Amino acid sequence: MPAADRGIDNEWLAERGIGVEVVDGRVYYTGWQRPTLAEVVRGTEGCGSGMQRYRQLMRYFGLCWFNVPPGDRFGLVADEPESLGERWDAFAAGYAEELCQRDGVDVPAWAHRPERYLDYLWFPAAPTEFFRLMAMTAPAPWFAEHGVLVEDRELIAARDLIEGKGAAIWNR
């Protein structure tokens, strides 16, 4: 159901302090604070499994990132996330670098700290040999530099979800 059919229009948004900004034909909502990567990482501490944490980080933070105008995105990754162990530290750095490099945003210095790189390969979302092979065949490049192998199409699916193109890959 379109937002206008639910009574959500510019007046409704303005009453709640939310503005609308159009950049290169893309609509962004402004005036409300989106969580930073550091806050999302902190919020995943209670996740029961690695796959739950992975999905929370990829999906939720991806939604936040792609819904912020490009000029405001650095603020979402500027603060270094607290440590959740070497694998997740490398994941957070790889994710920040991946998003920044793809969108022409400065990469935060913390993402290049030596402790944010693994000296082995880790597959956070590859429960079977088939998915590990897929991640090795088409890895997201800046994730891979950190030793974290994530399929490039996972990031494409995040952007497609925001742009309304669907994201069947996230339904697995």
Residue by residue, DSSP assigns 33-88 as PPPPHHHHHHHTTT-SSHHHHHHIIIIIIHHHHHTS-GGGTHHHHSSPPPP--HHH
Q: What per-residue confidence (pLDDT) applies to 29?
A: 66
* Predicted TM-score (pTM) of this structure: 0.76
Residue 65: pLDDT band (50, 70, 90) is: confident
How many angstroms separate the CA atoms of 13 and 10, rounded? 5
Q: Please tell me the least confidently modeled range out of 27-36, 117-126, 132-141.
A: 27-36
User: What local confidence, expressed as pLDDT, does residue 17 receive?
Assistant: 65
Q: Burial, 105: exposed, middle or buried (Cβ in 10 Å; 0-12, 13-18, 19+)?
A: buried
Between CA 137 and CA 104 the distance in angstroms is 25
Q: What is the mean pLDDT of the segment spanning 29-46?
A: 81
Is pLDDT above 50 for 97? yes
Q: What is the pLDDT of residue 16?
A: 62
| Predicted confidence band of residue 136 (pLDDT cuts 50, 70, 90) | confident
**Higher pLDDT pick, 161 / 4:** 161
**To the nearest whole number, what is the mean pLDDT of the chain?**
80
Pick the more confident residue, 7 or 110: 110
Phi-psi region of 147 (alpha: psi -120 to 50; beta: other; left: phi over 0): left
Identify the CA nearest to 86 among candidates 127, 51, 119, 53: 119
Q: What is the mean pLDDT of residues 47-67?
A: 81
Residue 112 banded pLDDT, cuts 50, 70, 90: very high
Cβ(78)–Cβ(104) below 8 Å: no
